[in-house]
Amino acid sequence: MRSAGSSGSSRRPFELKLRSRVMALEGRARVMGVLNITPDSFSDGGRYLDPAEAERRALRLESEGADLLDVGGESTRPGARPVSAREELRRVLPVLKRLKGRIGVPLSIDTTKYDVASAAFDHGVEILNDITALGSDRRIARLVARMGAAVVLMHMRGRPKTMQLDTRYTDVVREVRDHLRGAAHRALEAGIGTGRIVLDPGFGFGKDASQNLELLSRLEEFATLGHPLLVGVSRKSFIGHLLGEPVDRRLHGSIGAAVVAAIKGARIVRVHDVLAHRQALALVEAAGERRP
């Protein structure tokens, strides 16, 4: 039987090789739950700064069906100011220490800093989620290779503080795809195995609302890159722009965007509302299995 959205190479089977296990990326799109340990994230900033509260949130996301958890200690919303590695470590390490041995799903660290990534790996993290696609520090790629970790390489122009100042593209899909192809090539050259690379088009990172919709509508074109695709559209501003809704009223639009992404080939969706997305994606997969 064919999975939902099967269209040749866009639904080819993938395996993601992690430090302690191999995750099959077939059938239902996998759900990556978001755990922001920040005071200023666009959606849930300040809610989980207390390590005990962050731990409870992580365990709840796992119980709701998260396949992976992405932990971040620095906001990457448009206009966000960077924080030091010391501050980022102060936020995330107490949480990682609490989760080690208590959480059953793989953990990802959302960082661009070598010291933060290194410390996170020491506490059992298995994936680096890097919005600069290994472009912030040359040492990080070698660290990922040495640790046998997986990496998410994302497209972004500039940095979060400035990324929305220039959103001009001739063809946003082609340019983002070419950028990710180059990033994957650099990761391979650094010794990161092909089964450890995930690509992310970077919805909301240096793109306007119409460009984000263009990326979503043509997502199947990224299948030519030969690596699994992660999509993060949860509560993003382009959904609010389209629907005229504030951040706290974008759940239904987020689910719709995630469903479209899954049908068009995304293997992992990064979300704030795990249970709702898990249920919606289960229905997408069930319907796909019944296609002739």
**Which residue carries 């229905």 as its tokens?**
283
Known catalytic residues are: 236, 270
The structure tokens listed for 261 are 């992404």
Is 25 exposed, middle or buried (CB count within 10 Å of its CB: 0-12, 13-18, 19+)?
A: buried
- Pairing outcome for strands 22-25 and 14-17: antiparallel
Question: Residue 117 contacts by C-beta under 8 Å, 6 or more apart in sequence?
Answer: 109, 111, 128, 140, 143, 144
What is the distance between the alpha carbons of residues 236 and 217, in angstroms, rounded to a whole number?
A: 16
The partner residues of 151 in beta bridges, in order of sequence, read 128, 197
